[in-house]
Structure 1
Amino acid sequence: MSRQKIIEALESNKNGERNMGEIYFKRFTFNQLAEHWAMIGTFMLLVISGMPLKFPDAWWSPVIINFLGGFAMRTQIHHAAGIGMVILGVYHVVYHVFVDKESLLDRKVWPTLKDAKDFWQTIMFYIGKAQAPKYGRYSWKEKFDYWGAFWGMVMLCVTGLIMLYPFQAMEVIPYAYVHLSTIVHTDEALLATLFIFIVHWWNVHYSPEVFPMSKAWLTGNLSEEQMKHEHPLEYEEVMRQMNEKGDKSFSR
Structure 2
Amino acid sequence: MQEHHPSETSVIRFSVLHRFLHLVVMVGFTGLAATGLSLAFSASWPARAFMWLMGGSAGAAWVHRACAVITYATVVIHGLWFLYYKWVLRGRLTGPHSILPSLKDLKDLRHNVGYFLGTRPQAPQFDKFSYMEKIDYWAVFIGMNTMGITGLLLWFPEFFTLWLPGFFINLAQVLHFYEALLAIVIKFFIHIGMAHLRPAVYPADMSIFTGRATAAHSGSNPSMKPEQ
Fold shared, TM-score > 0.5 on shorter chain: yes
Matched, 1:55 2:41: yes
> Aligned match of 2:134 in 143, 151, 156?
143
CA distance in 2 between counterparts of 1:126 and 1:58 reads: 43
User: Do structure 1's residue 92 and structure 2's residue 83 form an aligned pair?
Assistant: no
CA shift for structure 1 position 125: 2.6
Change (3 A) 1:126 1:46: same
Matched, 1:29 2:15: yes
Contact 2:39–2:57 (Cα < 8 Å) also in 1: no
Question: Mapping of 1:38-187 within 5 angstroms?
Answer: 38-98=24-84, 101-106=89-94, 108-130=98-120, 131-187=122-178
Q: Aligned runs of 1:188-207 on 2, under 5 Å?
A: 188-207=179-198
Cα deviations by residue, 1:44-76 (Å, 9 ceiling, x for unpaired) = 110111011232333321122223332221111
Distance in 1 (alpha carbons) for counterparts of 2:18 and 2:42: 36
Report the AA paired with residue 108 of structure 1.
S
Structure holding more helix per residue: 1
Instruction: Select the structure with the greater relative contact order (CA < 8 A; seq sep ≥ 6).
Output: 2
**Preserved contact between residue 14 and residue 212 of structure 2 (Cα < 8 Å):** yes
Q: Distance in 2 between matches of 1:169 and 1:52?
A: 26
Q: Cα distance 1:209–1:73, how it changes in 2: closer, same or farther (>3 A)?
A: same
Q: Deviations over 1:186-214 (max 9, x none)?
A: 11111011011111111111112212111
Query: What SS is found at the alignment partner of 1:37?
Result: helix
Residue correspondence of structure 1 range 227-242 to structure 2 within 5 A = 227-228=215-216, 230-234=217-221, 237=222
Structure 2 CA distance for partners of 1:231 and 1:216, relative to 1, 3 Å: closer
User: For the pair shown, which has the larger CA radius of gyration, 1 or 2?
Assistant: 1
Identical aligned pairs, as a percentage? 27
Amino acid of the structure 2 residue aligned with 1:189: A
Deviation of 1:158 (Å): 0.2
- SS, match of residue 214 in structure 1: coil
Offset at residue 104 of structure 1 (A): 4.7
Structure 1 residues 23 and 104: alpha-carbon distance in aligned structure 2, compared to 1, 3 A threshold: closer
Q: Determine if contact 1:134/1:231 at 8 Å carries over to the other structure.
A: no
Q: How far apart, CA to CA, are the structure 2 residues paired with 1:216 and 1:147?
A: 19
Q: Which runs of 5+ in 1 are unaligned?
A: 1-18, 243-249
Distance in 1 (CA, whole Å) between partners of 2:124 and 2:140 is 24
Q: How many residues align?
A: 218
Runs of 4 or more off by more than 3 Å in structure 1? 19-23, 104-107, 230-233
Report the CA distance between 1:89 and its aligned residue. 1.5
Deviation at residue 20 of structure 1 after TM alignment: 4.6
**Do the aligned partners of residues 58 and 126 (structure 1) sit closer, same or farther apart at CA in structure 2, a change above 3 Å counting?**
farther
Spell out, residue by residue over 1:228-247, the C-alpha distance to the aligned partner (whole angstroms, 9 max, x if none). 1x44332xx469x99xxxxx
Q: How far does residue 117 in structure 1 lie from its aligned partner after superposition?
A: 2.0
Q: Which sits farther off after the overlay, 174-183 or 125-134?
A: 125-134
TM-score in terms of structure 2 length:
0.86
The CA deviation string for residues 162-220 of structure 1, in whole angstroms up to 9 with x for no partner, is 00001111111111111010110111111011011111111111112212111112101
